[in-house]
Structure 1
Amino acid sequence: MAHFPSMDDKCAVLHLSRLQLDDLILDHLTDSKRQQIQQLHLTFNRLLLLPPSVCFLSNLEYLDISNNALTVMPEDIMRLTNLKTFVAKNNLLDESSFPKEFERMQVETLNLSGNRFGEIPVQFLKMTTLQSLSLGGNRLKTIPAEIEKLTSLELLYLGGNLISFIPPEVANLTSLRYLVLCDNRIQSIPPQLNKLHSLLSLSLHNNLLTFLPREILSLVHLQELSLRGNPLVVRFIKDMTYDPPSLTELAGRTIKSQNLPFSSCDLPSNLNHYLNLASKCPNPKCAVFLSLQLKPTERRGVRGGEQRPCRQAPESAAGIGQTDQLPVTAFPLNT
């Protein structure tokens, strides 16, 4: 048990982390002092319950009670009508820990990663003000179809669970910008996700994906797509071979990149021959040319139904010759 420290008249943020607190007493504070508190940090303490005094901080907007041993949220938490950000990572909370009325809270950011949730509580699925929902590192097996009701959601973090299926209703989260589903057991991606036109980042690494639907290519604003650790990528890497550049190729690149003057009499015949191959790559498996005239990247299907990006191809052999650039050996396309 600990008493509240002294505070000045302008104090709005209170950091009470790592103090081994098992309770918090505010009896000596006036109402005006309590109303000044807008942010409260109680992380890394010994709290088994949310201290009752916290629920009487009427102007509290930010509450972080991560890394304690909380198992339940009291009904008095409903008194925090101004609460916008609620963080309770790494506790012992589950789907039965929150009062039914919690759905009426106007919380915008809810982070409950590292707890014991076996399913997403029904209350959370009715919180239409939510912009960020993080439930990573729990025991979730499913994503309920009712997730589509969270129409304001911009970030959905469900990494590190036991999820095997993505319901197509996720595609109705039209405001979603960040979708994190890494470290699960997901085997396929619903093509309906192409409706997530605001999506900037899609994290799917360490799942069981064997292919991607062609529709995923229509996510024109997507900036990050993480797929490592899936059978799709593992097989792709195993199938690839890499032909390292020869000494002749390296010498030719150096001459061209440094614009070194030369004549045919100055160089060995094999290097002269290589320098005259600017319109044709000496590596028959190579699909990449260093050129200023490139077509937009195309995509095509290959065996197993998976979609792979084709390398950029030259506009024409003449185009390569005009730019006078040497071909670049790269990963071959083993189709």
Structure 2
Amino acid sequence: MENYTSSDSDSDSGNKTLDLSYLMLDTEVINEHLICTNSPENIETMLLHQNRLSIIPFTIVRFVNLTTLDVSNCGLNQLPDFLGDLPITCLVAKNNNLTNDYLLKSFENLPGLRELNLSGNRLTEFPEQVLDLMELKYLYLGGNSISEITKDVWKLQRLQVLSMGGNRLAEVPSTLGRCTSLQALVLCDNILESLPSSIANLKNLKSLFLHKNRLRTLPTEIITLKCLTELSLRDNPLVVRFVSDMTHDPPSLLELAARVVKSNDIAYDGENIPRNLIEYLNSGHRCVNVNCQGIFFDNRVEHVKFVDFCGKYRLPLLQYLCSSKCIGPRDGEEEMVSGAMIRKVLLG
């Protein structure tokens, strides 16, 4: 998911770029090149990827107008704080040996950073420092060992791409729904079992990658994402389970009696029945079948229904019904599509 970029082609880029990539040079040799470079103030882009840099030489601060720095695949162990002395807007440091302890302590000195790529490193936590980057639009953190997304992610109000595939995410914070500028969200190859309903607030979302997770359901609110044109769901239980998955045992006598009380609006209060029964009666759920509107408590039917997604394709969404008799098309509703039809979209 590295095809989203903030870089534009520049006809004069040859005069403004220092390209030392793919030379397998060590730190000392790179340092000599940086010292010997004439007119360092003219360099805006520096490409150092595929070298043997354990650290970034301090002499890089000579390049006072440097806006793009690529130090990918160099074996880096640290991103030094003196990078904050440069006007960098794009920093690519993927596929190195970076850990959370050896990132910049603060990104406050890089207020103009718009793209940050730390994919393929050894991060175990979401780097809180990036929350200082008010202008950040592209954040790539895939291929690490991050177990959670900070709840303060909402502070990145200009963020358009968040790529966190190939981590250890077990959940997504509801606050992510406040990042309303997001256009691409990559959460594939994690251990997610569900998504928050607030995902529906991402009105500008165009691409959502969720393949290779443990998703069994999707929030029904996802069908309101009218801009979404790319959705990947393959290798999730919800895709494998195309047809109804019902678990329905006969309801208990307690539930049957409670259903009668609630369905017939029979009055009850604490003077007539024990408190625990009042709490039980108050815990009832309404069946989603508009032609039923029955009440259920503990006993329910789990049903996967395929919902029309803005006229583009169908999504399997889990709904709870009071009875297996409620399954099937209702007035004005189309039949469920077959597994073969939906598979073409969800497994592609």
TM-score after normalising by structure 1: 0.68
Instruction: Please say if residues 63 and 87 of structure 1, whose CA atoms lie closer than 8 Å, have aligned partners that are also in contact.
Output: yes
Tell whether 2:66 aligns with 1:60: yes
Which amino acid in 2 is paired with 1:184?
A: N
Between the aligned partners of 1:71 and 1:47, the Cα distance in structure 2 is 9
Counterpart in 2 of 1:280? Answer: none
Segments of 4+ in structure 1 off by > 4 A? 295-306, 329-333
Between the aligned partners of 2:21 and 2:13, the Cα distance in structure 1 is 21
Within the candidate set 212, 220, 228, 2:226 is matched to 220
Between the aligned partners of 1:9 and 1:330, the Cα distance in structure 2 is 51
Secondary structure in 1 matching 2:177: helix
Tell whether 2:17 aligns with 1:13: yes
How far off is 1:104 after superposition? 3.1
Tell whether 2:111 aligns with 1:103: no
Within the candidate set 242, 249, 258, 1:236 is matched to 242
Within the candidate set 85, 88, 91, 1:86 is matched to 91
1:1-335 equivalent positions in 2, closer than 5 A: 11-23=15-27, 24=30, 25=32, 26-30=34-38, 33-80=39-86, 82-105=87-110, 106-236=112-242, 331=340
Secondary structure in 2 matching 1:225: strand
Change (3 A) 1:126 1:220: same
Between the aligned partners of 1:205 and 1:195, the Cα distance in structure 2 is 21
How far off is 1:332 after superposition? 7.9
Change (3 A) 1:63 1:94: same
Instruction: Please say if residues 104 and 127 of structure 1, whose CA atoms lie closer than 8 Å, have aligned partners that are also in contact.
Output: no
Between the aligned partners of 2:64 and 2:81, the Cα distance in structure 1 is 15
How far off is 1:28 after superposition? 3.2
Instruction: Please say if residues 114 and 135 of structure 1, whose CA atoms lie closer than 8 Å, have aligned partners that are also in contact.
Output: yes
Deviation sequence 1:135-177 (CA, Å, 0-9, x none) = 0000000001011100000000000000000000000001000
Secondary structure in 1 matching 2:212: coil
Instruction: Please say if residues 203 and 226 of structure 1, whose CA atoms lie closer than 8 Å, have aligned partners that are also in contact.
Output: yes
Secondary structure in 2 matching 1:169: helix
Instruction: Please say if residues 109 and 133 of structure 1, whose CA atoms lie closer than 8 Å, have aligned partners that are also in contact.
Output: yes
**Structure 1 residues not aligned, in runs of 5+:** 1-7, 240-294, 316-328
Between the aligned partners of 1:124 and 1:10, the Cα distance in structure 2 is 31
Deviation sequence 1:278-300 (CA, Å, 0-9, x none) = xxxxxxxxxxxxxxxxx967979
Which amino acid in 1 is paired with 2:36?
A: H
Counterpart in 2 of 1:263? Answer: none
Change (3 A) 1:17 1:10: closer
Secondary structure in 2 matching 1:123: helix
How far off is 1:302 after superposition? 7.0
**Structure 2 residues not aligned, in runs of 5+:** 1-11, 246-309, 322-328, 343-348
Q: Which of the pair has more CA radius of gyration?
A: 1
Between the aligned partners of 1:9 and 1:195, the Cα distance in structure 2 is 39
Between the aligned partners of 2:231 and 2:13, the Cα distance in structure 1 is 48
Secondary structure in 2 matching 1:96: helix
How far off is 1:331 after superposition? 4.7
Instruction: Please say if residues 96 and 121 of structure 1, whose CA atoms lie closer than 8 Å, have aligned partners that are also in contact.
Output: no
Change (3 A) 1:68 1:27: closer
Change (3 A) 1:232 1:67: same
Aligned length: 250
Aligned-pair RMSD on alpha carbons? 3.1
Which amino acid in 1 is paired with 2:127?
A: P
